[in-house]
Structure 1
Amino acid sequence: FNWTDRCIVEWEKFAELAKYQPESQKPTVKALLIMAYSVIIILSLFGNMLVCHVVLKNKRMHSATSLFIVNLAVSDIMITLLNTPFTLVRFVNSTWIFGKAMCHISRFVQYCSLHVSTLTLTAIALDRHQVILNPLKQRMSLTKGVLSISVIWLMATCFSLPHAIYQKLFQYNY
């Protein structure tokens, strides 16, 4: 690929078109974003709270595997409440309006939830692997499940702290 003067000029034109204006999105796009995000937030909260309620109220479901499922739901609730609304406002306003502290918190929650979900799914896979390989052995106890979840949250926090600490908020003037 050869960079010619013509390519550079075309790239500069494209970059100029891509810049955000103070009102870079049409009102219909903003309305659709708000509606879509609202539906996602409501369904996520309802579904994940329902999962937590069913598992906690049903005594037969008090097992390590069910605890892992509740842990996934809690992680989803956390990201739904502490990240998704801020992302919506950032998209609608084309800028971050919540300040430096919330920038760090939002990024931490985002990465922490991601790590908790991934590590919890790994724990579920390992638990299922043990049950399939050793069907006659006793399943993971509730205590071991709680300990595993504690380790998952500790690891997720450690993995996410660098993102929160070194996150920078830049102001761009377009």
Structure 2
Amino acid sequence: FNWTDSRIVEWEKFAELAKYEPESQKPTVKALLIVAYSVIIITSLFGNMLVCHVVLKNKRMHSATSLFIVNLAVSDIMITLLNTPFTLVRFVNSTWIFGKAMCHISRFVQYCSLHVSTLTLTAIALDRHQVILHPLKQRMSLTKGALSISVIWLLATCFSLPHAIYQKLFQYNY
């Protein structure tokens, strides 16, 4: 590797930049992150719990499609409670402070929620497709909807386990 004067200057500029604290260490950035994440967490919990409450209390809304919507809300609540706060703390502290087990759990929840949401949206699309294509046929029953949701969670768990198992925790000191 041939070190020319221009490469040495580039390296020195890079090394100089590395001396400064990361963006997330600045107090204003930390404050903005805390406020933004807090608003997101509160809004998510309120909105998704409201969806669950309305669907469960309103008998007219007891349908397979409504079950799918509740499933999306449950998936969102799961990531809001079991991933988002930990992500905020990681950004604010610039490191993971919750240990190896929580690292695996947080990653599992993140991917499981992603897969549940994606598979649930797919199930909703397939259900809507059937309703539009065959309007005179009977709609999906609550039992079939609940069975579909069970399969969705089983698949999401299987898809997410490799991410949780093989997740590595690296410590970087700034």
TM-score by length of 2: 0.91
Aligned CA RMSD, in angstroms, stands at: 2.6
Change (3 A) 1:137 1:16: farther
Task: Provide the rounded CA distance (Å) in 2 between the counterparts of 1:80 and 1:48.
Answer: 10
Cα deviation for residue 4 of structure 1 reads: 7.2
Cα deviation for residue 173 of structure 1 reads: 2.9
Residue of structure 1 in register with 2:173 after alignment? 173
Cα deviation for residue 17 of structure 1 reads: 2.2
Change (3 A) 1:46 1:20: farther
Please, which runs of 5 or more residues in structure 1 have no aligned partner?
none
Change (3 A) 1:108 1:19: farther
Segment of structure 1 superposing worse, 119-128 or 7-16: 7-16
> How far does the alpha carbon of each residue in 1:123-148 deviate from its partner, in whole angstroms, 9 at most, with x for none?
00000000000000000000000000
Contact 2:23 2:29 in 1 (8 A): no
Cα deviation for residue 66 of structure 1 reads: 0.2
Contact 1:103 1:169 in 2 (8 A): yes
Contact 1:67 1:145 in 2 (8 A): yes
Change (3 A) 1:134 1:19: farther
Task: Provide the rounded CA distance (Å) in 2 between the counterparts of 1:156 and 1:123.
Answer: 13
Change (3 A) 1:141 1:26: same
> How far does the alpha carbon of each residue in 1:7-49 deviate from its partner, in whole angstroms, 9 at most, with x for none?
5752663366257748952111111110010000000000000
Residue of structure 2 in register with 1:18 after alignment? 18
The number of equivalent residue pairs is 174
- The alignment partner of 1:137 has SS state of coil
Cα deviation for residue 67 of structure 1 reads: 0.1
Contact 1:48 1:74 in 2 (8 A): yes
Q: Residue 60 in 1 paired to residue 65 in 2?
A: no
Contact 1:23 1:93 in 2 (8 A): no
Change (3 A) 1:8 1:108: farther
Q: Percent identity?
A: 95
Contact 1:48 1:73 in 2 (8 A): yes
Change (3 A) 1:15 1:115: farther
Task: Provide the rounded CA distance (Å) in 2 between the counterparts of 1:125 and 1:2.
Answer: 58
Task: Provide the rounded CA distance (Å) in 2 between the counterparts of 1:107 and 1:20.
Answer: 29
Change (3 A) 1:5 1:46: farther
Change (3 A) 1:7 1:151: farther
Task: Provide the rounded CA distance (Å) in 2 between the counterparts of 1:24 and 1:143.
Answer: 48
- The alignment partner of 2:68 has SS state of helix
Please, which runs of 5 or more residues in structure 2 have no aligned partner?
none
